[in-house]
Amino acid sequence: MTDIDHITSKRLFIAIPLPDPTNKALNPYCEQISAQHPQQKVRFTPMLKRHITLAFLGVLSEDQIKSVSTIVREFQHPPVTIQLNTISRFPDDQSNIITALPAPSDELHSLHGQLQRLFELNGIELKDFPKLSRPYRPHISLTRIKNLEDNLPITIEPPIDMLISNIFLYESQLTETGSRYIPMEKAELLNR
């Protein structure tokens, strides 16, 4: 992980990376979407960049980064298993953003809620992170398709089981070729 003693402001988010089996299980659905829209150039989120965001934090100062890094490093929660069951537009049925959506999961919401509580316990005001205090709507971004008119949602059958065993604090660097995600801290989810 990155040494956080000599850093300046960075654009950060906390997320769940997708395990390899989950990524591979999503690929046929990406191919199906591409086949359904042959007239469009569909670029999918690269497998190594697919994730479920727990908290988008935005640009943080050095002190904020240190606080958030400590929260992630010390985060404790049992592992969680969720099921991905739908490919759909997000956040609504008019959007051009195509995502994989998990079935409703109390455990996933517990994970998000635990993160919110740790922010509050460490004196970090949720009002400083407006996206963290919004209702949590987990999703995995797959692609964007302009002028999408048909064929969604797609049922994932059978549902894809996904084990969540760690979370990461990532830096998001914007480049000419797209975003680059750099892991800064990791929390293993363990049964205690």
- Cα(48)–Cα(22) distance, integer angstroms: 11
Confidence tier at 135 by pLDDT (50, 70, 90): confident
Tell me the C-alpha distance between 106 and 103, whole Å.
10
DSSP SS3 for 38: coil
Residue-wise pLDDT for 52-72, tens only, equals 999 999 898 888 899 999 999
pLDDT band at 127 (very low <50, low <70, confident <90, very high): low
CATH class of residue range 10-188: alpha beta
Would you kindly state where each structural domain of the chain is located, as residue ranges?
Answer: 10-188
Q: What is the DSSP letter of 67?
A: H
CA dist list (Å): 82 to 8, 18, 27, 72? 36, 12, 18, 21
Whole-structure pTM value: 0.89
Q: pLDDT digit string (tens) for 162-175?
A: 999 999 999 999 88
